[in-house]
Protein backbone atom coordinates (compact mmCIF):
# COMPACT_ATOMS: atom_id res chain seq x y z
CA UNK A 1 0.00 0.00 0.00
CA UNK A 2 1.27 3.52 -0.70
CA UNK A 3 2.00 5.70 2.31
CA UNK A 4 -1.04 7.77 3.19
CA UNK A 5 0.83 10.80 4.52
CA UNK A 6 3.30 13.02 2.73
CA UNK A 7 4.74 16.52 2.79
CA UNK A 8 3.49 17.48 -0.68
CA UNK A 9 0.78 15.60 -2.57
CA UNK A 10 0.77 16.09 -6.34
CA UNK A 11 -2.60 15.52 -7.96
CA UNK A 12 -2.04 14.21 -11.48
CA UNK A 13 1.06 12.55 -12.94
CA UNK A 14 1.36 14.20 -16.37
CA UNK A 15 4.16 16.48 -17.58
CA UNK A 16 3.40 19.10 -14.90
CA UNK A 17 3.03 16.65 -12.00
CA UNK A 18 6.23 14.80 -12.93
CA UNK A 19 8.19 18.05 -13.27
CA UNK A 20 6.89 19.22 -9.88
CA UNK A 21 7.78 15.88 -8.29
CA UNK A 22 11.32 15.89 -9.66
CA UNK A 23 11.85 19.46 -8.42
CA UNK A 24 10.58 18.58 -4.91
CA UNK A 25 12.64 15.39 -4.78
CA UNK A 26 15.75 17.42 -5.65
CA UNK A 27 14.97 19.68 -2.68
CA UNK A 28 14.66 16.51 -0.51
CA UNK A 29 10.96 17.12 0.13
CA UNK A 30 8.81 14.06 0.51
CA UNK A 31 6.12 13.96 -2.19
CA UNK A 32 3.57 11.58 -3.64
CA UNK A 33 1.88 11.68 -7.04
CA UNK A 34 -1.77 10.64 -6.91
CA UNK A 35 -2.82 9.65 -10.43
CA UNK A 36 -6.18 8.43 -11.74
CA UNK A 37 -4.80 6.38 -14.64
CA UNK A 38 -2.87 3.11 -14.44
CA UNK A 39 0.17 4.92 -15.93
CA UNK A 40 2.11 8.18 -15.63
CA UNK A 41 2.23 10.71 -18.49
CA UNK A 42 -1.38 11.90 -18.79
CA UNK A 43 -1.85 13.48 -22.20
CA UNK A 44 1.68 12.34 -23.09
CA UNK A 45 1.25 8.69 -24.08
CA UNK A 46 3.41 6.53 -26.34
CA UNK A 47 2.26 3.08 -27.49
CA UNK A 48 3.96 0.63 -29.88
CA UNK A 49 2.61 -0.76 -33.15
CA UNK A 50 3.25 -4.37 -34.25
CA UNK A 51 6.56 -3.34 -35.87
CA UNK A 52 7.75 -1.75 -32.63
CA UNK A 53 7.32 1.84 -33.85
CA UNK A 54 6.60 4.34 -31.09
CA UNK A 55 3.25 6.05 -31.68
CA UNK A 56 2.50 9.20 -29.71
CA UNK A 57 -1.25 9.27 -29.19
CA UNK A 58 -0.90 12.53 -27.26
CA UNK A 59 1.93 15.05 -27.60
CA UNK A 60 4.42 14.22 -30.35
CA UNK A 61 6.31 17.43 -31.12
CA UNK A 62 8.93 19.09 -28.96
CA UNK A 63 7.64 22.56 -29.78
CA UNK A 64 10.11 25.43 -29.20
CA UNK A 65 12.50 22.50 -29.05
CA UNK A 66 15.65 24.62 -28.69
CA UNK A 67 14.43 25.91 -25.31
CA UNK A 68 12.14 23.00 -24.39
CA UNK A 69 13.36 21.28 -21.18
CA UNK A 70 12.08 17.89 -22.42
CA UNK A 71 14.66 17.98 -25.25
CA UNK A 72 17.52 17.93 -22.76
CA UNK A 73 15.77 15.37 -20.55
CA UNK A 74 15.07 13.00 -23.47
CA UNK A 75 18.68 13.21 -24.64
CA UNK A 76 19.97 12.63 -21.11
CA UNK A 77 17.83 9.48 -21.01
CA UNK A 78 19.57 8.28 -24.16
CA UNK A 79 16.52 8.78 -26.41
CA UNK A 80 16.99 9.96 -29.99
CA UNK A 81 15.87 13.49 -30.77
CA UNK A 82 15.05 13.88 -34.46
CA UNK A 83 15.69 17.40 -35.74
CA UNK A 84 14.39 17.04 -39.30
CA UNK A 85 11.99 19.65 -40.70
CA UNK A 86 8.35 18.99 -39.79
CA UNK A 87 5.91 18.36 -42.65
CA UNK A 88 4.00 21.63 -42.10
CA UNK A 89 7.19 23.65 -42.67
CA UNK A 90 7.60 22.08 -46.13
CA UNK A 91 5.37 22.21 -49.24
CA UNK A 92 2.64 19.55 -49.22
CA UNK A 93 2.20 17.02 -52.02
CA UNK A 94 0.47 18.74 -54.95
CA UNK A 95 -2.55 16.45 -54.73
CA UNK A 96 -5.91 18.23 -54.40
CA UNK A 97 -3.94 21.47 -53.95
CA UNK A 98 -1.50 22.65 -56.61
CA UNK A 99 1.82 24.29 -55.78
CA UNK A 100 0.37 27.70 -56.74
CA UNK A 101 -2.71 27.12 -54.59
CA UNK A 102 -0.47 26.18 -51.67
CA UNK A 103 1.38 29.47 -52.11
CA UNK A 104 -1.91 31.38 -52.23
CA UNK A 105 -3.07 29.59 -49.08
CA UNK A 106 0.25 30.33 -47.35
CA UNK A 107 -0.09 34.04 -48.18
CA UNK A 108 -3.72 34.15 -46.99
CA UNK A 109 -2.78 32.40 -43.76
CA UNK A 110 0.14 34.74 -43.08
CA UNK A 111 -2.05 37.78 -43.71
CA UNK A 112 -4.67 36.32 -41.35
CA UNK A 113 -1.99 35.82 -38.67
CA UNK A 114 -0.72 39.39 -39.14
CA UNK A 115 -4.25 40.77 -38.66
CA UNK A 116 -4.67 38.48 -35.66
CA UNK A 117 -1.49 39.83 -34.11
CA UNK A 118 -2.80 43.39 -34.48
CA UNK A 119 -6.22 42.68 -32.96
CA UNK A 120 -4.64 40.46 -30.29
CA UNK A 121 -2.75 43.48 -28.98
CA UNK A 122 -5.81 45.71 -28.79
CA UNK A 123 -8.33 45.98 -26.00
CA UNK A 124 -10.98 44.66 -25.53
CA UNK A 125 -10.14 41.07 -26.34
CA UNK A 126 -12.18 39.62 -29.23
CA UNK A 127 -12.62 36.20 -30.90
CA UNK A 128 -9.64 35.35 -33.11
CA UNK A 129 -12.09 34.82 -35.99
CA UNK A 130 -12.39 38.65 -36.24
CA UNK A 131 -9.14 38.44 -38.21
CA UNK A 132 -10.83 36.59 -41.10
CA UNK A 133 -11.27 38.51 -44.32
CA UNK A 134 -14.96 37.97 -45.18
CA UNK A 135 -15.42 35.77 -48.23
CA UNK A 136 -11.75 34.77 -48.53
CA UNK A 137 -11.53 31.43 -50.38
CA UNK A 138 -9.04 30.08 -47.83
CA UNK A 139 -11.02 30.81 -44.62
CA UNK A 140 -12.14 27.17 -44.16
CA UNK A 141 -8.60 25.86 -44.45
CA UNK A 142 -7.22 28.57 -42.14
CA UNK A 143 -9.87 27.64 -39.59
CA UNK A 144 -8.90 23.95 -39.94
CA UNK A 145 -5.31 24.98 -39.12
CA UNK A 146 -6.77 26.75 -36.03
CA UNK A 147 -8.40 23.51 -34.92
CA UNK A 148 -5.03 21.72 -35.05
CA UNK A 149 -3.36 24.57 -33.18
CA UNK A 150 -5.99 25.35 -30.52
CA UNK A 151 -8.28 22.34 -30.81
CA UNK A 152 -11.10 24.79 -31.54
CA UNK A 153 -12.33 27.01 -34.37
CA UNK A 154 -11.08 30.60 -34.22
CA UNK A 155 -14.55 31.95 -33.31
CA UNK A 156 -14.17 30.34 -29.84
CA UNK A 157 -10.58 31.45 -29.20
CA UNK A 158 -9.29 34.63 -27.54
CA UNK A 159 -7.21 36.74 -29.96
CA UNK A 160 -5.12 38.02 -27.02
CA UNK A 161 -4.36 34.53 -25.75
CA UNK A 162 -3.51 33.21 -29.21
CA UNK A 163 -1.10 36.10 -29.63
CA UNK A 164 0.47 35.39 -26.23
CA UNK A 165 1.78 32.01 -27.40
CA UNK A 166 5.55 32.02 -27.72
CA UNK A 167 7.03 29.80 -30.43
CA UNK A 168 10.68 29.55 -31.49
CA UNK A 169 9.48 27.49 -34.50
CA UNK A 170 11.89 24.66 -33.80
CA UNK A 171 9.86 21.46 -33.78
CA UNK A 172 11.66 18.21 -33.10
CA UNK A 173 10.57 14.69 -32.15
CA UNK A 174 11.68 11.89 -29.84
CA UNK A 175 12.03 8.71 -31.91
CA UNK A 176 11.16 6.51 -28.93
CA UNK A 177 8.17 8.76 -28.21
CA UNK A 178 7.59 12.03 -26.39
CA UNK A 179 5.32 10.12 -24.01
CA UNK A 180 8.12 7.65 -23.30
CA UNK A 181 10.50 10.47 -22.33
CA UNK A 182 7.95 12.08 -20.00
CA UNK A 183 6.84 8.84 -18.30
CA UNK A 184 10.49 7.73 -17.89
CA UNK A 185 11.26 11.02 -16.12
CA UNK A 186 8.52 10.15 -13.61
CA UNK A 187 9.78 6.63 -12.87
CA UNK A 188 11.89 7.46 -9.79
CA UNK A 189 8.98 9.26 -8.08
CA UNK A 190 6.62 7.78 -5.50
CA UNK A 191 3.22 7.47 -7.12
CA UNK A 192 -0.09 5.82 -6.46
CA UNK A 193 -1.82 4.87 -9.72
CA UNK A 194 -5.43 3.98 -10.57
CA UNK A 195 -6.43 6.39 -7.88
CA UNK A 196 -8.84 9.16 -8.93
CA UNK A 197 -8.96 12.06 -6.48
CA UNK A 198 -12.51 12.85 -5.44
CA UNK A 199 -12.08 15.81 -3.12
CA UNK A 200 -9.39 18.07 -1.63
CA UNK A 201 -10.35 19.21 1.86
CA UNK A 202 -8.23 22.19 2.96
CA UNK A 203 -10.43 23.18 5.91
CA UNK A 204 -8.13 21.67 8.58
CA UNK A 205 -4.49 22.19 9.59
CA UNK A 206 -3.39 19.55 7.09
CA UNK A 207 -4.87 18.98 3.67
CA UNK A 208 -6.94 15.81 3.30
CA UNK A 209 -7.24 14.23 -0.14
CA UNK A 210 -10.17 11.86 -0.59
CA UNK A 211 -9.57 9.28 -3.32
CA UNK A 212 -11.04 6.08 -4.68
CA UNK A 213 -8.37 4.26 -2.58
CA UNK A 214 -9.02 6.09 0.69
CA UNK A 215 -7.74 9.31 2.22
CA UNK A 216 -4.23 10.84 2.00
CA UNK A 217 -2.94 13.74 4.07
CA UNK A 218 -0.32 16.35 3.17
CA UNK A 219 1.07 19.70 4.30
CA UNK A 220 0.66 21.09 0.79
CA UNK A 221 -0.93 20.02 -2.48
CA UNK A 222 0.01 20.76 -6.09
CA UNK A 223 -3.03 20.37 -8.35
CA UNK A 224 -2.12 19.58 -11.97
CA UNK A 225 -5.51 18.39 -13.22
CA UNK A 226 -6.49 19.39 -16.77
CA UNK A 227 -8.49 22.66 -16.68
CA UNK A 228 -11.57 20.88 -18.09
CA UNK A 229 -11.55 18.53 -15.07
CA UNK A 230 -11.20 21.40 -12.57
CA UNK A 231 -14.09 23.19 -14.31
CA UNK A 232 -16.39 20.16 -14.28
CA UNK A 233 -15.66 19.19 -10.63
CA UNK A 234 -17.53 21.94 -8.82
CA UNK A 235 -17.09 20.14 -5.49
CA UNK A 236 -13.39 19.34 -5.87
CA UNK A 237 -12.35 21.69 -3.06
CA UNK A 238 -13.72 21.98 0.49
CA UNK A 239 -14.16 24.86 1.23
CA UNK A 240 -15.12 25.56 -2.38
CA UNK A 241 -12.80 27.69 -4.54
CA UNK A 242 -15.23 29.28 -7.01
CA UNK A 243 -12.45 31.49 -8.42
CA UNK A 244 -10.61 28.34 -9.57
CA UNK A 245 -13.73 26.77 -11.08
CA UNK A 246 -14.36 30.03 -12.92
CA UNK A 247 -10.76 30.42 -14.14
CA UNK A 248 -10.74 26.81 -15.37
CA UNK A 249 -14.07 27.34 -17.16
CA UNK A 250 -12.44 30.16 -19.15
CA UNK A 251 -9.82 27.64 -20.37
CA UNK A 252 -11.68 24.70 -21.94
CA UNK A 253 -9.76 21.89 -23.57
CA UNK A 254 -9.94 22.00 -27.35
CA UNK A 255 -9.93 18.72 -29.20
CA UNK A 256 -7.29 17.15 -31.41
CA UNK A 257 -7.34 13.42 -32.11
CA UNK A 258 -4.68 11.45 -33.97
CA UNK A 259 -5.26 8.28 -35.96
CA UNK A 260 -2.38 6.09 -37.17
CA UNK A 261 -2.85 4.05 -40.36
CA UNK A 262 -0.41 1.44 -41.65
CA UNK A 263 0.74 1.93 -45.25
CA UNK A 264 2.07 -0.67 -47.69
CA UNK A 265 4.61 0.27 -50.40
CA UNK A 266 5.28 3.37 -48.33
CA UNK A 267 8.51 4.18 -50.25
CA UNK A 268 6.36 5.77 -52.96
CA UNK A 269 6.22 8.83 -50.66
CA UNK A 270 9.03 10.97 -49.27
CA UNK A 271 9.49 10.62 -45.49
CA UNK A 272 7.53 13.26 -43.59
CA UNK A 273 5.50 14.45 -46.54
CA UNK A 274 2.01 15.79 -46.18
CA UNK A 275 -1.43 15.89 -47.77
CA UNK A 276 -4.35 18.18 -47.06
CA UNK A 277 -7.86 16.74 -47.11
CA UNK A 278 -10.60 19.16 -48.10
CA UNK A 279 -9.36 22.66 -48.82
CA UNK A 280 -12.71 24.45 -48.81
CA UNK A 281 -14.00 23.82 -45.31
CA UNK A 282 -12.95 23.40 -41.71
CA UNK A 283 -14.27 19.81 -41.35
CA UNK A 284 -11.35 17.83 -42.76
CA UNK A 285 -8.17 16.03 -41.74
CA UNK A 286 -4.47 16.56 -42.26
CA UNK A 287 -2.27 13.61 -43.30
CA UNK A 288 1.37 13.16 -42.34
CA UNK A 289 2.85 10.49 -44.66
CA UNK A 290 5.72 8.33 -43.43
CA UNK A 291 6.32 10.08 -40.10
CA UNK A 292 10.03 9.57 -39.26
CA UNK A 293 10.22 7.49 -42.46
CA UNK A 294 7.92 4.81 -41.05
CA UNK A 295 5.32 2.92 -43.12
CA UNK A 296 2.48 4.86 -41.49
CA UNK A 297 0.12 7.76 -42.02
CA UNK A 298 -0.53 10.05 -39.06
CA UNK A 299 -3.95 11.65 -39.43
CA UNK A 300 -4.84 14.74 -37.40
CA UNK A 301 -8.45 15.78 -36.69
CA UNK A 302 -9.41 18.89 -34.74
CA UNK A 303 -12.20 20.96 -33.23
CA UNK A 304 -15.92 20.38 -33.70
CA UNK A 305 -15.31 17.89 -36.50
CA UNK A 306 -13.22 15.64 -34.22
CA UNK A 307 -15.93 15.94 -31.55
CA UNK A 308 -18.60 14.84 -34.03
CA UNK A 309 -16.50 11.87 -35.17
CA UNK A 310 -15.91 10.81 -31.55
CA UNK A 311 -19.65 10.18 -31.24
CA UNK A 312 -19.19 7.43 -33.86
CA UNK A 313 -16.18 5.92 -32.05
CA UNK A 314 -12.74 5.15 -33.51
CA UNK A 315 -14.26 3.47 -36.58
CA UNK A 316 -15.76 6.80 -37.69
CA UNK A 317 -12.28 8.39 -37.88
CA UNK A 318 -10.85 5.51 -39.89
CA UNK A 319 -13.81 5.47 -42.26
CA UNK A 320 -13.51 9.22 -42.89
CA UNK A 321 -9.73 9.16 -43.41
CA UNK A 322 -9.77 6.14 -45.71
CA UNK A 323 -12.54 7.65 -47.85
CA UNK A 324 -10.74 11.03 -48.06
CA UNK A 325 -7.41 9.39 -48.98
CA UNK A 326 -9.13 7.22 -51.62
CA UNK A 327 -10.69 10.37 -53.06
CA UNK A 328 -7.26 12.05 -53.25
CA UNK A 329 -5.07 9.10 -54.26
CA UNK A 330 -7.47 6.76 -56.08
CA UNK A 331 -9.81 3.97 -54.99
CA UNK A 332 -7.02 1.34 -54.95
CA UNK A 333 -5.27 3.24 -52.17
CA UNK A 334 -7.86 1.81 -49.76
CA UNK A 335 -6.14 -1.59 -50.06
CA UNK A 336 -2.85 -0.12 -48.82
CA UNK A 337 -4.04 1.38 -45.55
CA UNK A 338 -5.36 -0.05 -42.30
CA UNK A 339 -6.20 1.57 -38.95
CA UNK A 340 -3.55 0.86 -36.30
CA UNK A 341 -4.22 2.99 -33.20
CA UNK A 342 -5.92 6.13 -31.97
CA UNK A 343 -7.35 7.61 -28.79
CA UNK A 344 -10.50 9.70 -28.33
CA UNK A 345 -9.37 12.48 -25.98
CA UNK A 346 -12.73 14.20 -25.42
CA UNK A 347 -14.25 10.91 -24.25
CA UNK A 348 -11.27 10.32 -21.93
CA UNK A 349 -12.65 10.89 -18.39
CA UNK A 350 -9.26 12.06 -17.08
CA UNK A 351 -8.58 14.59 -19.85
CA UNK A 352 -11.88 15.72 -21.42
CA UNK A 353 -10.00 17.12 -24.39
CA UNK A 354 -6.52 17.65 -25.79
CA UNK A 355 -5.14 21.09 -24.92
CA UNK A 356 -6.44 24.34 -23.50
CA UNK A 357 -7.45 27.50 -25.30
CA UNK A 358 -8.79 30.67 -23.68
CA UNK A 359 -12.27 31.87 -24.54
CA UNK A 360 -12.49 35.48 -25.79
CA UNK A 361 -11.97 37.81 -22.82
CA UNK A 362 -10.55 34.99 -20.69
CA UNK A 363 -6.80 35.11 -21.37
CA UNK A 364 -6.27 36.31 -17.78
CA UNK A 365 -7.69 33.01 -16.50
CA UNK A 366 -4.29 31.35 -17.00
CA UNK A 367 -2.64 33.40 -14.26
CA UNK A 368 -5.80 33.26 -12.10
CA UNK A 369 -5.73 29.44 -12.29
CA UNK A 370 -2.01 29.37 -11.43
CA UNK A 371 -2.40 31.61 -8.34
CA UNK A 372 -1.58 29.70 -5.07
CA UNK A 373 -4.14 29.56 -2.26
CA UNK A 374 -3.17 30.03 1.36
CA UNK A 375 0.46 28.89 0.94
CA UNK A 376 -0.86 25.29 0.79
CA UNK A 377 -2.58 24.77 -2.53
CA UNK A 378 -0.56 25.28 -5.72
CA UNK A 379 -1.61 24.91 -9.33
CA UNK A 380 0.21 23.72 -12.42
CA UNK A 381 -0.54 22.19 -15.82
CA UNK A 382 -0.31 23.47 -19.37
CA UNK A 383 -3.43 25.66 -18.93
CA UNK A 384 -1.59 27.68 -16.24
CA UNK A 385 1.15 28.74 -18.66
CA UNK A 386 0.80 32.26 -20.06
CA UNK A 387 3.08 31.76 -23.07
CA UNK A 388 3.63 27.98 -23.47
CA UNK A 389 0.06 26.79 -22.91
CA UNK A 390 -1.28 23.72 -24.72
CA UNK A 391 2.11 22.03 -24.64
CA UNK A 392 4.05 19.46 -22.65
CA UNK A 393 6.88 21.92 -22.02
CA UNK A 394 4.29 24.44 -20.77
CA UNK A 395 3.17 21.71 -18.36
CA UNK A 396 6.77 21.11 -17.30
CA UNK A 397 7.54 24.79 -16.65
CA UNK A 398 4.38 25.34 -14.58
CA UNK A 399 5.13 22.18 -12.58
CA UNK A 400 8.58 23.46 -11.65
CA UNK A 401 7.15 26.90 -10.82
CA UNK A 402 4.48 25.41 -8.54
CA UNK A 403 7.07 23.24 -6.77
CA UNK A 404 9.28 26.31 -6.24
CA UNK A 405 6.31 28.18 -4.77
CA UNK A 406 5.61 25.26 -2.42
CA UNK A 407 9.27 25.11 -1.37
CA UNK A 408 9.34 28.88 -0.71
CA UNK A 409 6.11 28.66 1.31
CA UNK A 410 7.58 25.82 3.44
CA UNK A 411 10.57 28.01 4.31
CA UNK A 412 8.22 30.79 5.40
C1 LIG B 1 -3.62 14.46 -29.64
C2 LIG B 1 -2.72 15.40 -28.88
C3 LIG B 1 -1.62 15.95 -29.51
C4 LIG B 1 -0.77 16.81 -28.81
N5 LIG B 1 0.35 17.28 -29.44
C6 LIG B 1 1.25 17.99 -28.72
C7 LIG B 1 2.53 18.26 -29.25
O8 LIG B 1 2.84 17.85 -30.38
N9 LIG B 1 3.40 18.96 -28.48
C10 LIG B 1 3.09 19.38 -27.22
O11 LIG B 1 3.94 19.99 -26.56
N12 LIG B 1 1.89 19.11 -26.68
C13 LIG B 1 0.96 18.42 -27.39
N14 LIG B 1 -0.21 18.05 -26.81
C15 LIG B 1 -0.56 18.60 -25.49
C16 LIG B 1 0.22 17.95 -24.35
O17 LIG B 1 0.07 16.56 -24.44
C18 LIG B 1 -0.34 18.47 -23.03
O19 LIG B 1 -0.36 19.89 -23.05
C20 LIG B 1 0.49 18.04 -21.83
O21 LIG B 1 0.79 16.67 -21.90
C22 LIG B 1 -0.31 18.37 -20.57
O23 LIG B 1 0.40 18.01 -19.41
P24 LIG B 1 -0.25 18.33 -18.01
O25 LIG B 1 0.60 17.73 -16.97
O26 LIG B 1 -0.59 19.78 -17.93
O27 LIG B 1 -1.67 17.59 -18.03
P28 LIG B 1 -1.98 16.03 -18.11
O29 LIG B 1 -0.98 15.33 -18.92
O30 LIG B 1 -3.41 15.90 -18.53
O31 LIG B 1 -1.82 15.56 -16.61
C32 LIG B 1 -2.87 15.63 -15.66
C33 LIG B 1 -3.00 14.30 -15.00
O34 LIG B 1 -4.11 14.34 -14.08
C35 LIG B 1 -4.71 13.06 -14.09
N36 LIG B 1 -6.06 13.14 -13.55
C37 LIG B 1 -7.20 13.55 -14.14
N38 LIG B 1 -8.22 13.48 -13.28
C39 LIG B 1 -7.72 13.01 -12.11
C40 LIG B 1 -8.28 12.75 -10.83
N41 LIG B 1 -9.57 12.94 -10.54
N42 LIG B 1 -7.45 12.28 -9.86
C43 LIG B 1 -6.11 12.08 -10.10
N44 LIG B 1 -5.54 12.32 -11.29
C45 LIG B 1 -6.34 12.79 -12.28
C46 LIG B 1 -4.68 12.67 -15.55
O47 LIG B 1 -4.84 11.29 -15.71
C48 LIG B 1 -3.29 13.15 -15.97
O49 LIG B 1 -2.32 12.15 -15.83
C50 LIG B 1 -1.06 17.15 -27.47
C51 LIG B 1 -2.15 16.58 -26.82
C52 LIG B 1 -2.97 15.71 -27.51
C53 LIG B 1 -4.12 15.08 -26.78
68 lines ligand 1 (CB under 6 A): no
382 lines ligand 1 (CB under 6 A): yes
Q: Which residue of 11, 13, 14, 20 sits with most ligand 1 atoms within 8 Å of its CB, as the best mutation to test the pocket?
A: 14
pLDDT at 412: 83
37 lines ligand 1 (CB under 6 A): yes
CA of 44 to the centre of ligand 1 (A): 6
Helix/strand/coil (H, E, C) string of the chain? CCCCEEEEEEECCEHHHHHHHHHHHHCCCCEEEECCCCCCECCCCEEECCCCCEEECCCCEECCHHHCHHHHHHHHCCCCEECCCCHHHCCCCCCCCCHHHHHHHHHHHHHHHHHHHHHHCCCCCCEHHHHCCCCCCCHHHHHHHHHHHHCCCHHHCEHHHHHHCCCCCCCEEECCCHHHHHHHHHCCCCEECCCCEEEEECCCCCEEEEECCEEEEEEEEEECCCHHHHHHCCCCEECCCHHHHHHHHCCCEECEEEEEEEECCHHHCCCCEEEECCCCCCCCCEEEECHHHCCEEEEEEEHHHHHHHHCCCHHHHHHHHHHHHHHHHCHHHHHHEEEEEECCCCCCCCCCCCEECCCCCCCCHHHHHHCCECCCEEECCHHHCCCCCCCHHHHHHHHHHHHHHHHHHHHC
Q: Which residue of 33, 36, 43, 383 sits with most ligand 1 atoms within 8 Å of its CB, as the best mutation to test the pocket?
A: 43
CA of 219 to the centre of ligand 1 (A): 25
15 lines ligand 1 (CB under 6 A): yes
Q: Which residue of 2, 12, 36 sits with most ligand 1 atoms within 8 Å of its CB, as the best mutation to test the pocket?
A: 12
395 lines ligand 1 (CB under 6 A): yes
pLDDT at 301: 97
CA of 350 to the centre of ligand 1 (A): 9
Which residue has a Cα nearest atom 6 of ligand 1?
Answer: 59
Candidates 3.40.50, 3.90.660, 3.40.1350, 1.10.760; CATH matching 87-170+256-342:
3.90.660
Q: Name all contacts of 365-368 with Cβ < 8 Å and 24+ positions apart.
A: 365/246, 365/247, 365/248, 365/249, 365/250, 365/251, 366/161, 366/247, 366/251, 368/243, 368/246, 368/247, 368/250
The residues spanned by each domain of the chain are: 5-47+63-82+173-252+357-411, 87-170+256-342
59 lines ligand 1 (CB under 6 A): yes
360 lines ligand 1 (CB under 6 A): no
**Cα–Cα–Cα angle for 409, 410, 412, rounded to 5 degrees:** 65
CA of 42 to the centre of ligand 1 (A): 5
Instruction: Using 70 as the pLDDT threshold, list the residues of the chain that sit under it.
Output: 1-2
pLDDT at 1: 56
43 lines ligand 1 (CB under 6 A): yes
CA of 256 to the centre of ligand 1 (A): 12
Counting from 1 in the atom list of ligand 1, the atom nearest the Cα of 382 is: 26
Instruction: Quote the radius of gyration of the chain (alpha carbons, Å).
Output: 21
CATH 3.50.50.60 fits 5-47+63-82+173-252+357-411, yes or no: yes
157 lines ligand 1 (CB under 6 A): no
Amino acid sequence: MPKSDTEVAIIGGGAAGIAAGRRLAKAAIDCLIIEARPRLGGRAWTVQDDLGNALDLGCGWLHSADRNPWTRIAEAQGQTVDRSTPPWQKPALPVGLSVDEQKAFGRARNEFLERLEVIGRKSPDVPASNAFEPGNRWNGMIDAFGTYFSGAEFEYVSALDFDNYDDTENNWRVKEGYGTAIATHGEPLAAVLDCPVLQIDHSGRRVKIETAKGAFTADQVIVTLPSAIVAEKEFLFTPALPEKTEAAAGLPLGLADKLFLSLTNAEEFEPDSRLYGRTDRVATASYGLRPLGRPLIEVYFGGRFAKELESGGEAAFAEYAIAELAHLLGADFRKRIKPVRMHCWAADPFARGSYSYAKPGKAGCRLALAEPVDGRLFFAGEACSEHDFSTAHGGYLTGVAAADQAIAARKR
